[in-house]
């Protein structure tokens, strides 16, 4: 069982809707401060987390309530009087949320040097010093106390509640970045602004009408004597309709009769001009955003169309090109998705690409047992390509530069006549690998590990595959085919890491080559026999060389021994010569000079050196 102290000293992470840490309760007040126990208020919010996002989304409601209802209640006194309890309840509910929002801001962390600061002391100090704090306080000042003096029929005393509007804009900004349909959201936001503007204008029109006297002239709002106009709803709808006519500059409104009316209508027209400019700008930015997103996703057909027209290549070909572009859009195929994602950091890009493409990759038999991390790396190297009906992906005899994985669609292996289909390839299969990998004639022996991948590019011809690096077949797309393309270099790198994948590919390729009669099964055996023969020859040469070396050593020994004997004889002769000369009296024997220094063997040094050199 957990002791109370261990529970209290633990760092709590609150459950997150989508796995992000948005709200964290800590036993510490932040870096450096340790609290004895968790205070119930000891939590902090991550401003980019989900909890904060949902909180400010909730905060949009009381702010909108104050902006829409307060003006209405102020200008339509009947509305205020008829539902006083409801309004007071909603008012104080909205005030509670405003106060809670201040509490939330006192617990919302901030980023410093890219790191989230969770020290509540620092968070508090930062908020209290910020410009939003006085603003927030102003919105919760108890101005309702004026009710005691003015009575509850003057809701305008709560006008300060509208000052919380920056929080509404923040909520809208967050929503816009998170929503899957930002353009729809932008249009909805614009409509809300338009509605609030007309609403305010309508309320002010009614207030002006009341001040001038309801039904006093044709321009002001009719009074209760008109049928239906005794009800506030009818009065409101009339005012809203009237303001819509003014702000939409439809102009089908009664002529103003008094100065106040002229001024009001003129101000309305000016507001309408501003509104039109804003609406036009916003809608055109929505449209251009949409077009920009489309342009980033799909290739623009216009330049190709122009090119074909300029080169006089219209007709059937132009229609095929147009149909291909149409297919991309209709089926949401994104050939330029790498360009769309390129601004993301590599790791994040890999994760995004993996989350989109992993299900398709997993359907490829070759990849089924691969780990997610490896597939994530692979997915970044794959280029999506779409082929139209009747288009050839590769032709027999071409040099192979990439291979393909079928993501969707059907492709035919077509015979030379261009019609006969030898096989049909579908989803999860791959092709185009034979010309890229060096397929041997014989499968590797079981006791060997699978052959190591080549470090350098493959030689153009291998001993087994007689086609070398040329395509062995024509591959034609039957309908529209959605393929992943992997370049030869990337394939070599992938196979270097996965010998088992290489073995699988080689086995399939060998089988196909055998069926096509393009596998020279004897080539490798012949190569092996030649290698064996060369080995035998080398061994024989080595043996002969060893014999020669032995004989040479023996000869050298003999030579040295004869040289030694020769030197001894020469010395003996010299001795005899000296003895004879000394026996014959003094003579030229003295001319022989001083006796020479003798070596350790008794042979004179230079003589020995000379003889050794001769022997060598």
Ligand X SMILES: Nc1ncnc2c1ncn2[C@@H]1O[C@@H]2COP(=O)(O)O[C@H]2[C@H]1O
**Size of interface with ligand X, in residues (CB under 6 A):** 15
Q: 454: alpha, beta or left, given left = phi > 0 and alpha = psi -120 to 50? A: beta
CA distances for 99 relative to 92, 139, 140, angstroms: 10, 9, 7
State yes or no: residue 434 binds ligand X (CB under 6 A).
Answer: yes
Pick one of 220, 246, 413, 611: the residue that binds ligand X (CB under 6 A).
413
What tokens does 537 get?
């020859």
Q: Which stretch binds ligand X (CB under 6 A): 189-197, 248-256, 330-338, 429-437?
A: 429-437
Shortest CB 331 distance to ligand X, Å: 25
CA nearest neighbour of 119 among 25, 23, 30: 30
For the CA atoms of 575, 578, 583, 586, the dihedral, rounded to the nearest 10 degrees, stands at: -160
Q: Which stretch binds ligand X (CB under 6 A): 129-137, 233-241, 342-350, 469-477?
A: 469-477
CB distance 553 to 604 below 8 Å: no
For ligand X, the closer of residues 422 and 529 by Cβ is 422
Task: Measure CA of the first residue to CA of the last residue in the chain; give whole Å.
Answer: 94
Pick one of 75, 265, 505, 512: the residue that binds ligand X (CB under 6 A).
512
Q: Which stretch binds ligand X (CB under 6 A): 36-44, 149-157, 470-478, 565-573?
A: 470-478
Pick one of 59, 353, 475, 519: the residue that binds ligand X (CB under 6 A).
475
CA nearest neighbour of 405 among 353, 465, 481, 330: 481
State yes or no: residue 432 binds ligand X (CB under 6 A).
Answer: yes
CB distance 246 to 269 below 8 Å: yes
CA distances for 313 relative to 280, 305, 309, 328, 498, angstroms: 41, 9, 6, 22, 46
For ligand X, the closer of residues 399 and 528 by Cβ is 399
CA nearest neighbour of 404 among 392, 414, 419: 392
Q: Which stretch binds ligand X (CB under 6 A): 52-60, 210-218, 425-433, 524-532?
A: 425-433
State yes or no: residue 431 binds ligand X (CB under 6 A).
Answer: yes
Shortest CB 429 distance to ligand X, Å: 8
Pick one of 250, 296, 422, 557: the residue that binds ligand X (CB under 6 A).
422
For ligand X, the closer of residues 164 and 470 by Cβ is 470
Pick one of 435, 438, 462, 481: the residue that binds ligand X (CB under 6 A).
435
Give the torsion sign (CA, 556, 561, 562, 567): positive
Pick one of 91, 261, 433, 482: the residue that binds ligand X (CB under 6 A).
433
Q: Which stretch binds ligand X (CB under 6 A): 58-66, 427-435, 532-540, 556-564?
A: 427-435
**Which residues are CB-contacts of 298 (< 8 A; sequence separation ≥ 6)?**
325, 328, 329, 334, 335, 336
In 10 A of CB 77, how many CB atoms? 15
User: Would you give the binding string for ligand X spanning residues 20-39, x where CB under 6 A is met?
Assistant: --------------------
Shortest CB 520 distance to ligand X, Å: 15
Shortest CB 509 distance to ligand X, Å: 7
Shortest CB 538 distance to ligand X, Å: 38
User: Would you give the binding string for ligand X spanning residues 363-402, x where CB under 6 A is met?
Assistant: -------------------------------x-----x--
CA distances for 349 relative to 80, 207, 333, 352, 487, angstroms: 56, 57, 18, 5, 19
Strand partners, 423: 413
Shortest CB 394 distance to ligand X, Å: 5
**Tokens 């309702």 belong to which residue?**
144
Site of interaction with ligand X (CB under 6 A) = 394, 400, 413, 422-423, 431-435, 471-473, 475, 512
């Amino acid at each position: 069982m957990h002791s109370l102290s261990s529970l209290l000293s633990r760092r709590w992470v609150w459950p997150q809707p989508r796995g992000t840490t948005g709200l964290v309760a800590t036993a510490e007040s932040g870096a450096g401060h340790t609290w004895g126990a968790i205070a119930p208020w000891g939590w902090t919010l991550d401003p980019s987390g989900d909890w904060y996002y949902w909180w400010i989304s909730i905060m949009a409601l009381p702010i909108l309530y104050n902006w829409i209802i307060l003006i209405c209640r102020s200008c339509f006194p009947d509305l205020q009087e008829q539902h006083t309890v409801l309004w007071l309840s909603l008012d104080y509910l909205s005030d509670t949320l405003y106060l809670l929002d201040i509490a939330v801001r006192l617990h919302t962390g901030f980023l410093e040097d890219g790191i989230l600061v969770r020290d509540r002391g620092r968070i508090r100090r930062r908020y209290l010093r910020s410009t939003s704090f006085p603003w927030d306080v102003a919105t919760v000042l108890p101005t309702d106390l004026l009710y005691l003096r003015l009575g509850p029929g003057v809701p305008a005393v709560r006008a300060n509640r509208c000052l919380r509007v920056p929080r509404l804009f923040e909520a809208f900004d967050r929503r816009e970045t998170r929503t899957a349909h930002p353009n729809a959201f932008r249009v909805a936001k614009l409509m809300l602004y338009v509605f609030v503007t007309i609403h305010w204008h309508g309320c002010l029109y009614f207030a002006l009408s009341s001040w001038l006297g309801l039904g006093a002239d044709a321009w002001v709002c009719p009074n209760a004597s008109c049928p239906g106009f005794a009800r506030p709803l009818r009065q409101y709808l009339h005012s809203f309709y009237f303001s819509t006519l003014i702000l939409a500059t439809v102009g089908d409104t009664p002529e103003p009769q008094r100065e106040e009316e002229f001024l009001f209508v003129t101000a309305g027209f000016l507001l309408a001009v501003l509104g039109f400019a804003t609406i036009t700008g916003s809608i055109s930015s929505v449209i251009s955003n949409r077009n920009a997103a489309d342009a980033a996703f799909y290739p623009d057909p216009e330049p190709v169309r122009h090119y074909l027209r300029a080169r006089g290549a219209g007709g059937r070909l132009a229609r095929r090109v147009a149909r291909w572009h149409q297919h991309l859009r209709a089926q949401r195929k994104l050939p330029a998705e790498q360009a769309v994602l390129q601004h993301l950091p590599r790791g994040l890009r890999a994760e995004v690409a993996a989350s989109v493409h992993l299900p398709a990759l997993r359907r490829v038999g070759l990849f089924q047992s691969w780990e997610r991390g490896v597939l994530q790396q692979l997915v970044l190297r794959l280029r999506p390509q779409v082929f139209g009906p009747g288009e050839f992906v590769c032709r027999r005899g071409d040099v192979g530069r990439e291979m393909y994985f079928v993501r969707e669609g059907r492709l035919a292996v077509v015979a030379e006549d261009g019609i006969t289909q030898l096989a049909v390839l579908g989803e999860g299969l791959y092709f185009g690998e034979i010309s890229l990998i060096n397929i041997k004639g014989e499968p590797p022996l079981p006791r060997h590990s699978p052959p190591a991948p080549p470090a350098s590019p493959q030689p153009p011809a291998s001993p087994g595959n007689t086609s070398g690096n040329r395509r062995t077949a024509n591959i034609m797309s039957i309908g529209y085919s959605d393929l992943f393309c992997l370049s030869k270099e990337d394939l070599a790198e992938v196979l270097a890491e996965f010998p088992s994948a290489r073995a699988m590919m080689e086995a399939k390729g060998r089988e196909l080559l055998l069926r096509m009669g393009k596998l020279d099964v004897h080539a490798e055996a012949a190569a092996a026999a030649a290698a064996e023969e060369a080995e035998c020859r080398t061994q024989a040469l080595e043996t002969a060389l060893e014999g020669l070396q032995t004989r040479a050593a023996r000869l050298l020994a003999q030579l040295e021994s004869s040289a030694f004997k020769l030197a001894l004889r020469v010395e003996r002769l010299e001795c005899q010569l000296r003895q004879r000369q000394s026996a014959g009296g003094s003579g030229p024997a003295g001319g022989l000079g001083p006796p020479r220094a003798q070596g350790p063997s008794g042979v004179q040094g230079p003589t020995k050196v000379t003889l050794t050199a001769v022997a060598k």
